[in-house]
Amino acid sequence: MRFNEVDAAGIVFYPRFFDYFHMTFEDFFGDATGTPYPVWINEKRIGWPAVHVETDFLSPLRYGTTVELHLTFPRVKRTSFVCRYEARDPETGRTLCTSEITVVTTDLDELKPLPIPDAVRDTLERFAA
């Protein structure tokens, strides 16, 4: 965690967690599906916008603390799936934040839902909660 990510109280400003979650999603997605995330977005024109978010902030993340993020997929439907994030302090094992973000597989040109591609569905099932 960096100094520019904290507020005047010296803890991570809560919207930063959503940046961390999306970076985790992008990194995971490219590695796990075998197709880099920018290829899905720029070439295949398939994306996963968030349509619902539920988050619990359980403990402050203080400046200088390392955060460890875990990502699983507890629910997979035809066009949508839930990304479950857990942010932990790796030194103490303490859970700092949990979030479930529902995303919809979307045709980025038409902005309409699409069925989850098989390569993505297989990946989500491998990393189910």
pTM, whole model, 2 decimals?
0.90
Sign of CA dihedral 109, 114, 116, 117: negative
Q: How far apart are CA 26 and CA 56, in angstroms?
A: 22
CA-wise closest residue to 73 among 112, 29, 23, 114: 29
Domain with residue 36: its CATH number is 3.10.129.10
- Rounded to 5 degrees, what angle do the CA atoms 116, 77, 27 make? 55
Range of the domain at 68: 3-126
pLDDT digits (tens, 9 = 90+) for 28-78: 988 899 999 999 999 999 999 999 999 999 999 888 888 999 999 999 999
**Is the pLDDT at 2 greater than 70, yes or no?**
no
Task: Answer yes or no: are the C-beta atoms of 129 and 83 closer than 8 Å.
Answer: no
Our count of domains for the chain comes to 1
Question: pLDDT-derived band of residue 7, with 50, 70 and 90 as boundaries?
Answer: confident
Percent of the chain with pLDDT over 70: 97
Task: Answer yes or no: are the C-beta atoms of 53 and 99 closer than 8 Å.
Answer: yes
